[in-house]
Amino acid sequence: MSDFLLELGKNPTARKMIKNLGLPVPVPQSLKRPRGPRSARPLHDQAVAFGSFGSSTLTKALAGILPRAGADIAVVGDVEPFVAPGEAYGRPPLALDLDDLPERYRAHGLVFDASACRTPEDLRAVYDFFHPLMRRIAPCGRAIVVGTDPSSLCDPEAASTQTALEGFTRSLAKELGKRGSTAQLLYAGPDAADRLEGPLRFFLSYRSAFVSGQPVWVSELVKDGAPDPGEGPLDGKVALVTGAARGIGEATAEILANEGAKVVCLDRPQDDALCSQVARRIGGSVLLADVSNPEAPEKIAAALADEHGGVDIVVHNAGITRDKTLAKMKPELWDLALNINLGAIQRITRKLIDDDVLHDEGRLVLLSSVAGIAGNLGQTNYAASKSGVVGYVRALAPTLAERGITVNAIAPGFIETRLTAAIPVMIREGGRRLSNLGQGGQPSDVGEAIAFLSLPGAVGITGGVLRVCGGALIGA
């Protein structure tokens, strides 16, 4: 599906002309996206500016994470923690003076450690860091605020101060979105400093192209497993992707396969041809089953256990929409949406857990939707099923933490797929433009987010919802 404004914006002459004529046409920035599978240094030679407030317990971990990822670091304030790791990775830190920035300095990423902020006055440090650097962020740049999980703070004033970061980050994301840049907030729980590595690598790289303005909670809850090797993180893992014949499922299957996973592509028997094509292209296998069928869980569990010796990653992507206002909705449509989008997920997941088909250190990723978070006209059935997914993830996560398994939901916003191409043009334009980034996302953007939550390095994130919506206004 081509986006006319995006195509226009890619033409430098047209872009300049619109600007010079003062036309009120907002041309969105074409987003930079990753090429190829994950590398050992996702931030290779990217300039990242780092700042922190007070004596943060996280800074030491961050000082290791950033040079390891290949970033060229410029530090505002105390350079000391960055010197030794910089030396180890041949990335000596540069001291950055915010009052006297080098003329040509452009940062790809800004990282501010605000985890030690405890009073509203402390938050001034956040302003002091970001304000002078706002015009120094490269297109499709990344801003990350690191905070302390407010629920881990007993002091109400401190918890309130940390929660304030959420409003700040969401607004920052809106301000940066015009140039394709994003901002996220990482809340670190106690002792979760080292688990920030996976999330930072994802959110600072181009893999998070369509994730904007999101708070992410990183915790110690889930038992630690094998470390993330950086390259080929899913080597030897078996992944099940439902609805893999097209769209988001297809993109996800491809990305997981590129990271080394053996992907089992599941779709309905009537999509045999498409599904087989995908499987052949990525070197995976096909499993034909209708997830809404009561016998499906048994069949899927048996196939995974017999042919692959179990499964490590399960992506519940299969879903349908049957839109009608509640007044006009037939009961069959209601049942169908809830059965496929929620019932099937619960039944299959339960079966995989009960039969021990899901391995320890596994990853469950369930597809929700921004409609499930915010509601949508004519989608009572769909939204109910999708918010049910959010609740399922939240409740299921603690029960699997001891086994090292994480459970998360992904909530896509406006993604350019067959589904959204069918929306009437005016509503479609609204859906596209009313977001921080002013454009729709690609299926691969959702696939990248799903792949991220499937990594060993995402062990800190569980029970949450990650929205891949470009910072959509609806569903906020």
Token pair 């040079």 is found at 67
Nearer to another protein, 45 or 356 (CB): 45
Q: How far is the CB of 233 from another protein (least distance, A)?
A: 16
Q: Which is nearer to another protein, 87 or 356 (CB)?
A: 87
Closest separation in Å from C-beta 277 to another protein: 31
Catalytic: which of 89, 187, 382, 392?
Answer: 382
Cβ atoms of 38 and 208 within 8 Å: the answer is no
Binding site for another protein (CB under 8 A): 40-41, 44, 70, 83-85, 87-92
Q: Residue 152: what are its φ and ψ, rounded to 5°?
A: -90, 0
Concerning whether 187 is annotated as a catalytic residue, the answer is no
Residue 27 or 63 having the CB closest to another protein: 63
Q: Are strands 72-75 and 47-52 parallel, antiparallel or unpaired?
A: parallel
- Supply the minimum distance, in Å, between the C-beta of residue 26 and another protein: 36
- Spatial separation of the C-alpha atoms in residues 293 and 166, rounded to whole Å: 42
Asked if residues 259 and 234 have their Cβ atoms less than 8 Å apart, the reply is yes
Q: What would the two tokens of residue 239 be?
A: 């992944």
Whichever of 90 and 424 has its CB closer to another protein, that residue is 90
Q: How far is the CB of 81 from another protein (least distance, A)?
A: 12
Residue carrying the six token digits 């250190």 = 361
| Sign of the Cα pseudo-torsion (166, 169, 172, 176, in order) | negative
Cα separations (Å) of 315 from 228, 264, 307? 20, 10, 18
Shortest CB 89 distance to another protein, Å = 7
Closest CB to another protein among residues 23, 95: 95
Nearest distance from C-beta of residue 109 to another protein, angstroms: 18
Sign of CA dihedral 123, 126, 132, 137: negative
End-to-end CA distance of the chain: 25
Element at 109 (helix H, strand E): strand 107-113
Q: Which is nearer to another protein, 230 or 464 (CB)?
A: 230
* Distances 422 to 236, 246, 427, 429 between C-alpha atoms, Å: 39, 15, 10, 12
Structure tokens at 108: 């790809």
Residue count of the chain, please give it. Answer: 476
Tokens of 179: 């140039």
Catalytic center residues: 382
